[in-house]
Amino acid sequence: MTNRELLLTAVKAADDKKAMDIVVLNMKGISLIADYFVICHGNSDKQVQAIVREIKEQVDEKGYNVKRLEGFDEARWVLVDLGDVVVHVFHRDEREYYNLERLWGDAPHEDVMSELSQ
């Protein structure tokens, strides 16, 4: 699975569980951590956990493993490490507070939603 396929799988899974305001940042050349950051949020703890579970299930189905999962029980900011793709699933309040999009403001945004509808 290429990084792009992994990215699209994660975004589709988040979208399937109605994640809000999905943003993909292209981190190539900006961060050594990952090629892509996916940032989204849910409106409740249960929705945040459902989004994360769906990402894990869809990634597992494609034969890829989640390398690390942090914050699932608290469901305020869950980090899903897929290697070159890192997904940040926030509770709405925490997303506004941490504002990763602003922190990584120099990273270009990727429009992947149009690729999902093809």
pLDDT score, position 27:
94
| CATH number where 40 lies | 3.30.460.10
Q: How do residues 7-22 score in pLDDT, each as one tens digit?
A: 999 999 999 999 999 9
Residue type, 10: A
Q: How many domains are there within the chain?
A: 1
- Find the domain containing 111 and state its range: 3-116
- Name the pTM for this structure: 0.93
Chain mean pLDDT for the chain: 92
Q: Where are the alpha helices (DSSP H) in 17-88?
A: 45-61
Structural contact between residues 116 and 37, judged by C-beta atoms closer than 8 angstroms: no
pLDDT score, position 10:
96
Structural contact between residues 56 and 9, judged by C-beta atoms closer than 8 angstroms: no
